[in-house]
Structure 1
Amino acid sequence: MWGEEKRGIHVNQAELLCKDGCGYYGNTAWQGYCSKCWRERIRKTETTKPENGLHGDRGFQLTFSKFEEKKSVEKGRRSSTMKRLFWGTPSPPRQAESSEGQEAALQAFQSLEPGDFPGFLKLLRKPTSQRLQSRCTAFLNTIEAYHDLPVEKQSDLVQDFYQNIAVHFNGLPEAQVLQMMEHIEKLIMTRLHKWVFCHDSCDDEQKDLTLQRRIKSLNWVTPQMLRVPFPKGGSDSDPYLPAITAIIEMDAKRAPQDKLICVSKCSQNVFQALALANSQPANADDFLSGLIYVVLRANPPRLHSNMNYITRFGLPHSLMAGETGYYFTNLSCTVAFIEKLDGPALNLTPEEFSSYMQGRRMPSRPAEGDSQRRAWENREQLDDLKKRQEKVDQGVRALQEQLEQWVRSVQEKVDEVTAQSALLENHLAESFEKSAGNARDQSVLVLRNDASHEAGPEETEC
Structure 2
Amino acid sequence: MWADKQRAIRVSQEELLCKNACGYYGNPAWQGFCSKCWRDRARPAGTPREETRPRSDGTLPTFSKFEEKKNIEKGRRINTVRRLFWGSPSPPKPQESSESRANVLKAYQNLEPGDFPAFLKILRSPPSQRLQSRCTAFLNTMEAYHDLPVQKQSDLVQDFYQSFAEYFSSFPEAQVTQIMEHVEKLIMTRLHKWVFCHDSCDDEQKDLALQRRIRSLNWVTPQMLGVPFPDKTVSVTGDPFLPAITAIIEMDAKRAPQDKLACVTKCSQHVFEALSRSNSEPANADDFLSSLVYVVLKANPPRLHSNMQYVIRFGLPHSLMAGESGYYFTNLSCAVAFIEKLDGPALNLSPEEFDGYMLGQRTPSALNRRQQVVSDTQNLLEELKGRQEKLDQGMDALNAQLQKWVQEVHSQLDETRSQFVLAQKEMTAQKEVSLSTQDDKEQSVVVLEDQHAGPKDTGC
The equivalences for 1:212-251 within 5 A come to 212-232=211-231, 233-251=234-252
The equivalences for 1:369-388 within 5 A come to 374=376
How far does residue 230 in structure 1 lie from its aligned partner after superposition?
A: 2.0
**Is contact 2:82–2:91 with CA below 8 Å preserved after alignment?**
no
Letter in 1 for 2:300: N
Deviation track 1:190-231 (CA, whole Å, cap 9, x = no partner) reads 000000000000000000000000000001111111111123
The equivalences for 1:41-80 within 5 A come to 41-45=41-45, 80=82
Please name the residue that 1:150 is paired with: 149
Please name the residue that 1:350 is paired with: 351
Q: Which runs of 5+ in 2 are unaligned?
A: 49-73, 381-460
How far does residue 82 in structure 1 lie from its aligned partner after superposition?
A: 4.1
Letter in 1 for 2:93: P
Please name the residue that 1:304 is paired with: 305
Letter in 1 for 2:330: T
**Is contact 2:192–2:255 with CA below 8 Å preserved after alignment?**
yes
Please name the residue that 1:113 is paired with: 112
Tell me how far apart the structure 2 counterparts of residues 313 and 338 of structure 1 sit (CA, whole Å): 25
TM-score by length of 2: 0.71
Deviation track 1:370-428 (CA, whole Å, cap 9, x = no partner) reads 899549999xxxxxxxxxxxxxxxxxxxxxxxxxxxxxxxxxxxxxxxxxxxxxxxxxx
**Is contact 1:106–1:169 with CA below 8 Å preserved after alignment?**
yes
Q: Give the aligned CA root-mean-square deviation in angstroms.
A: 2.8
Q: Which runs of 5+ in 1 are unaligned?
A: 49-71, 379-462
- Which of the numbers 89, 92, 96 marks the counterpart of 1:89? 92
How far does residue 44 in structure 1 lie from its aligned partner after superposition?
A: 3.8
Query: For 2:24, what is the secondary structure of its paired residue?
Result: coil
1:33 aligns with 2:33: yes
Deviation track 1:312-367 (CA, whole Å, cap 9, x = no partner) reads 00000000000000000000000000000011111111111111111111116459
Tell me how far apart the structure 2 counterparts of residues 238 and 268 of structure 1 sit (CA, whole Å): 16
| Structure 1 residues 235 and 111, CA gap change in structure 2 (3 angstroms) | same
Deviation track 1:241-280 (CA, whole Å, cap 9, x = no partner) reads 0000000000000000000000000000000001112221
| Structure 1 residues 373 and 351, CA gap change in structure 2 (3 angstroms) | farther
Of stretches 298-307 and 228-237 in structure 1, the one that deviates more from structure 2 is: 228-237
Letter in 2 for 1:11: V
**Is contact 1:367–1:373 with CA below 8 Å preserved after alignment?**
no
Tell me how far apart the structure 2 counterparts of residues 323 and 14 of structure 1 sit (CA, whole Å): 16
| Structure 1 residues 73 and 11, CA gap change in structure 2 (3 angstroms) | closer
Please name the residue that 2:329 is paired with: 328
Please name the residue that 1:266 is paired with: 267
Of stretches 113-122 and 226-235 in structure 1, the one that deviates more from structure 2 is: 226-235
Deviation track 1:94-115 (CA, whole Å, cap 9, x = no partner) reads 44x2x32221111111111111
Q: Identical aligned pairs, as a percentage? A: 68
**Is contact 2:8–2:348 with CA below 8 Å preserved after alignment?**
yes
Letter in 2 for 1:108: A
Letter in 2 for 1:340: K
Which structure shows the higher helix fraction? 1
Letter in 1 for 2:43: R
**Is contact 1:229–1:278 with CA below 8 Å preserved after alignment?**
no
How far does residue 118 in structure 1 lie from its aligned partner after superposition?
A: 0.7
Tell me how far apart the structure 1 counterparts of residues 351 and 77 of structure 2 sit (CA, whole Å): 56
1:202 aligns with 2:201: yes
| Structure 1 residues 78 and 312, CA gap change in structure 2 (3 angstroms) | closer
Query: For 1:18, what is the secondary structure of its paired residue?
Result: coil
| Structure 1 residues 223 and 375, CA gap change in structure 2 (3 angstroms) | farther
Of stretches 331-340 and 107-116 in structure 1, the one that deviates more from structure 2 is: 107-116
Tell me how far apart the structure 2 counterparts of residues 334 and 321 of structure 1 sit (CA, whole Å): 18
Deviation track 1:23-54 (CA, whole Å, cap 9, x = no partner) reads 00011111111111111111144859xxxxxx
**Is contact 1:228–1:293 with CA below 8 Å preserved after alignment?**
yes
Of stretches 350-359 and 193-202 in structure 1, the one that deviates more from structure 2 is: 350-359
Tell me how far apart the structure 1 counterparts of residues 226 and 78 of structure 2 sit (CA, whole Å): 57
Please name the residue that 1:280 is paired with: 281
**Is contact 2:26–2:34 with CA below 8 Å preserved after alignment?**
yes
| Structure 1 residues 306 and 370, CA gap change in structure 2 (3 angstroms) | closer
How far does residue 77 in structure 1 lie from its aligned partner after superposition?
A: 5.7
Larger Rg: 2
TM-score by length of 1: 0.71
Tell me how far apart the structure 2 counterparts of residues 198 and 24 of structure 1 sit (CA, whole Å): 27
**Is contact 1:236–1:375 with CA below 8 Å preserved after alignment?**
no
Letter in 2 for 1:135: R
**Is contact 1:234–1:371 with CA below 8 Å preserved after alignment?**
no
Tell me how far apart the structure 2 counterparts of residues 115 and 139 of structure 1 sit (CA, whole Å): 23
The equivalences for 1:393-408 within 5 A come to none
How far does residue 4 in structure 1 lie from its aligned partner after superposition?
A: 7.0
Tell me how far apart the structure 2 counterparts of residues 328 and 74 of structure 1 sit (CA, whole Å): 30
Letter in 2 for 1:253: K
Deviation track 1:118-168 (CA, whole Å, cap 9, x = no partner) reads 110011110110000000000000010000000000000000000100011
Tell me how far apart the structure 1 counterparts of residues 118 and 334 of structure 2 sit (CA, whole Å): 37
| Structure 1 residues 201 and 76, CA gap change in structure 2 (3 angstroms) | closer
**Is contact 2:84–2:141 with CA below 8 Å preserved after alignment?**
no
Letter in 1 for 2:167: H
Tell me how far apart the structure 2 counterparts of residues 250 and 77 of structure 1 sit (CA, whole Å): 36
Alignment length (residue pairs): 351
How far does residue 84 in structure 1 lie from its aligned partner after superposition?
A: 3.8
